[in-house]
Chains A and B, each alone.
Chain A
Amino acid sequence: MTGTPARRRPYGAGAAPYARPSAATARGRAPRAPYFFVLPAALLFLLFFALPIGYALWLSFRKAKVSGLGLGAGARTEVWAGLENYTDALSDSELLNGALRVLGYGCIVVPVMLGLALLFALMLDAEKVRFAPVTRLAIFLPYAIPGVVAALLWGFLYLPDVSPFYFVLDRLGLPQPDLLDGGPLYLALSNIAVWGGTGFNMIVIYTALQAIPVEVYEAAKLDGATPLQIALRIKIPMVAPSLVLTFFFSVIATLQMFNEPTTLKPLTNSVSTTWSPLMKVYQDAFGKGDIHAAAAQATLIALATLVLSFGFLRAANRRNKQEAAR
C-alpha cells in the first residue's frame, strides 16, 4: 500500500526507477504482480485438479495383491499392474452396458433439450411477443433447483399413487404405463435432464441472438422474408457458435450422468447401482473398495469425454472454415 507522499512523485524518480513501468514496458519486463494474482488459482488447480488426476492415473496402473490369507498388515501390497485394469474395464460387460444406456439417454436428451432451448430463444427474440420476461424467468427457474430435488420431484410425479398424470389417465380409462421401467425409464430420466437444462441453454442462445445487429435482418424483412425464413436462414446460422458451445457442455454433462438415476433408485427396482458408468465407478471404488479398477474406469470415461468433445470441436471448426470459404 503506497502512502500519499509517494503519490505525486514524478515518474521514474525515487529509489526504484522503472519499478512501475508503463503497460508497454511491462510486457517486456515480466512484472511480478500478475503471478501473485494468479497464485491462489494456480495452487488450487495443482492441489484439487492436477494432483488428483495424476494420482488417479498412477492408481489405474497398479493393483492390490493379496498374499497368503489376506490377513495381517503386510498381506495386502500394491503392485504394478500395467494395462490390466484397462483391459478388465474394457471387457467388463456391466461398464459397457452402462455406456450404452447413457448413449441411448444422451441421444434423447441432447437433441430435445437443445431443440427446445433454441425454439424458446427464437420465440423470446420474436417481435411483439407478450409475457417474454415472465416466461423467460419461468423456463430458467429449474436451473435454480438442485438436480437431486428435480429428480425427486419428477420421481413423485412418475409414481402412480401421487401423480396427476395417472389420475387423469385413470379418469379417462386409458392404459397406465410404468414410467420407471424398461423403455419409458429412459424417457423419464431424459425428461428430468431436459427440464433442468433447457433454461440455461436458452439463456446462452438468447444472449447470442440479441447480439445480432438489427440491420442484419432489416434488409431481409424489406425483401419480404417471413419470420420463419429469417429464423432459419439468418438467426440460426449466426448463433451457431453458441449452439456448438451448448452442445459441447450438454455432451459432457450427459457423460457424467449420476445424480438422477441415483435419486430415482429408491423409487424403482429397474435402476441398478451400476446403471451409468459413473455409478459403476462409484460402486467399484466405495462399494467394492477396488480403487484401482475404479481409477482405470474413471480415466477411460475422462478420455472418452476429451476425445468426443475435441473431436466435435474440430469438426465444428472445419465446417465453419468451409462456410467462411464459400
Chain B
Amino acid sequence: MSTLAVRKAAPAAGTTPGTAQGPPRRRRIAFVPTVTLLLGAVYCLLPVAWVVIAATKSGRELFSTFTFLPGTGFTGNLADLNAYRDGVYWRWMGNSALYAGLGALLSTAVSALAGYALAVYRFRGREALFNVLLAGVLMPPVILAVPQYLLLAQADLTDSRLSVLLPQILSPYGVYLARIYATAAVPADVVEAGRMDGASEWRIFTRISLPMMLPGLVTVFLFQFVAVWNNFLLPYIMLSDDEKFPITLGLHTLLEQGANTPALYTLVITGAFLAVLPLVALFLVVQRFWSLDLLSGAVKS
C-alpha cells in the first residue's frame, strides 16, 4: 500500500512543469495512471493466462515444468475430458447454456414488462411494488434457496431443470435497470401519440417502446446471463443428478473427486479453461457495440 501513496504523489510533481508556460507537449502520456492500470490488468489476467497455459500441459508436465512454459498435452487433455464419464462435461456446458440462455431471456422479458410499467404509468401501488422488488436484492440467496428447495420439494420439482430455471427468472436488479432505461428511452409524448392513433397499450409497448428500450434490454440480458451462468448455490442445493448439473457445479464435483488424485488435476484445469471461454468470448464480441457503463445503469441523455 505504501507504494501506492508514492506513485500517487508522482503526477502532482510531474505535471507542474506542464502547467507552466511553453509549448504544450503533444500526447505526452500520463505515466502513473497508465502504469497503475497496466499493473491492474496484469493482476486480473494472471490466473487466466495461467489456466490457458496449464491446460496445454500433460499430467507429468504440470508438476515438473515451469508454470508459464506451454506444454504439449492439450489435445490429450481434451480427449481425456471428452472421454470422462462419456462426455458428461459437454452436457454440463449444454445445461449451463440452457439455464443461462433461456433464464436470461425470460428474465429480460419479465423485467422489460415490469420496468416499462413502472416507468411509463402512474398507478396505485407503483412505488410500493418497486420498493418491495428492490428489497429482494437484499435477501441473501441461501435464505431463499433453502425454503425454495423445501417448497419445490412439496411440488415434486426438486432435482429437475425447472428447479434451477424458475427461481432465477425474476431479477430485482433487472427490473431496476429496465425501469431506468424505459424512463430514459421512451418519451411520454411518443406513448401519447400511439394512444391518439388508437393503438392498444400492448401494441404501443411491443411496436414502439420495446425497440426503443432494446439497447438497455441487451444489458439486462447480459447481466442475468452472467448471474445464472455463474450461479453455484442454487443448483448446488437443488440438484443431485449430475446429468442436470451446470458447469460450475460439475467442475466443483470434479475438483472434489480430483483433490485426492492429482491425475484428475489436468481434467479440472482443462475443464476450467473451457468453461471460461464462452463468457469471455461473449464479452469480447458484445463490447464492440455495447458499453460496459450500461451495466451500472448509466444512460446517455
A-side residues, CB < 8 A to B, are: 1-2, 6-9, 11, 20, 22-23, 26-27, 30-31, 33-38, 40-42, 44-45, 48-49, 51-53, 55-56, 59, 116, 119-120, 122-124, 126-132, 134-150, 152-157, 161-164, 167, 195, 198-200, 203-204, 206-208, 210-211, 224, 226-229, 242, 252, 255-256, 258-259, 262-263, 266-267, 278, 281-282, 285-286, 291, 294-295, 298-299, 301-302, 305-306, 309
- B255 interface residue, CB < 8 Å from A? yes
Contact A1 B229 (CB under 8 A): no
Question: What 10 A-B pairs are tightest by C-beta distance, nearest first?
Answer: A37-B117, A266-B259, A138-B41, A164-B67, A33-B201, A52-B147, A41-B114, A34-B121, A44-B170, A123-B33
| Distance A35 CA – B122 CA, assembled complex (angstroms) | 11
Residues in B with CB closer than 8 Å to A252 are 137-138, 140
Q: Indicate which residue in B111, B192, B205, B269 contacts A156 across the interface (CB closer than 8 Å).
A: B269
Given contacts A33-B201, A34-B117, A48-B166, whether A41 and B111 have CB atoms under 8 Å apart is yes
Residues in A with CB closer than 8 Å to B144 are 48-49, 52-53
- B37 interface residue, CB < 8 Å from A? yes
Q: Chain B, interface size: which category?
A: 35 or more
Of B15, B138, B169, B268, most A-chain CB atoms within 10 Å: B138
CB nearest to B197 among chain A residues: A7
- B19 interface residue, CB < 8 Å from A? yes
Binary per-residue interface labels of chain B (173-192) against chain A in the complex, 1 for a CB within 8 Å, 0 otherwise: 00100000000000010011
Q: Shortest distance in angstroms between B123's beta carbon and chain A's nearest beta carbon?
A: 5
Q: Indicate which residue in B9, B47, B142, B199 contacts A154 across the interface (CB closer than 8 Å).
A: B47
Residues in A with CB closer than 8 Å to B110 are 40-41, 44
CB nearest to A291 among chain B residues: B150
| Distance A74 CA – B34 CA, assembled complex (angstroms) | 71
Contact A299 B143 (CB under 8 A): yes
| Distance A143 CA – B255 CA, assembled complex (angstroms) | 22
B-side residues, CB < 8 A to A, are: 4, 8-9, 11-12, 15-16, 19, 27-30, 32-34, 36-38, 40-41, 43-48, 50-51, 54, 62-63, 66-68, 109-111, 113-114, 116-118, 120-124, 126, 129, 132-133, 136-144, 146-148, 150-151, 166-167, 169-170, 175, 188, 191-192, 195-203, 205, 226, 229-230, 232-233, 236-237, 247-249, 251-252, 255-256, 258-259, 262, 265, 268-269, 272, 275-276, 279-280, 282-284, 287, 292-293, 295-298
Contact B293 A131 (CB under 8 A): no
Given contacts A129-B37, A302-B139, whether A51 and B151 have CB atoms under 8 Å apart is yes
Q: Indicate which residue in B247, B255, B262, B293 contacts A203 across the interface (CB closer than 8 Å).
A: B293
| Distance A266 CA – B258 CA, assembled complex (angstroms) | 9
Residues in B with CB closer than 8 Å to A210 are 293, 298
Q: Indicate which residue in B16, B43, B147, B272 contacts A295 across the interface (CB closer than 8 Å).
A: B147
Residues in B with CB closer than 8 Å to A44 are 110, 169-170
Contact B146 A294 (CB under 8 A): yes
Given contacts A11-B196, A226-B15, A281-B142, whether A134 and B41 have CB atoms under 8 Å apart is yes
Contact A146 B232 (CB under 8 A): yes
Contact A23 B191 (CB under 8 A): yes
| Distance A41 CA – B268 CA, assembled complex (angstroms) | 38
| Distance A229 CA – B19 CA, assembled complex (angstroms) | 14
Contact A164 B50 (CB under 8 A): yes
Residues in A with CB closer than 8 Å to B198 are 2, 6-9, 20
Q: Shortest distance in angstroms between A217's beta carbon and chain B's nearest beta carbon?
A: 13
| Distance A144 CA – B272 CA, assembled complex (angstroms) | 13
| Distance A38 CA – B179 CA, assembled complex (angstroms) | 12
Residues in B with CB closer than 8 Å to A38 are 113-114, 117-118, 129
Residues in A with CB closer than 8 Å to B28 are 128
15 contacts between A and B (CB under 8 A): A34-B118, A34-B126, A41-B111, A45-B170, A124-B37, A129-B34, A137-B292, A139-B44, A149-B275, A162-B54, A195-B47, A203-B293, A259-B233, A278-B140, A302-B140
Q: Shortest distance in angstroms between B114's beta carbon and chain A's nearest beta carbon?
A: 4
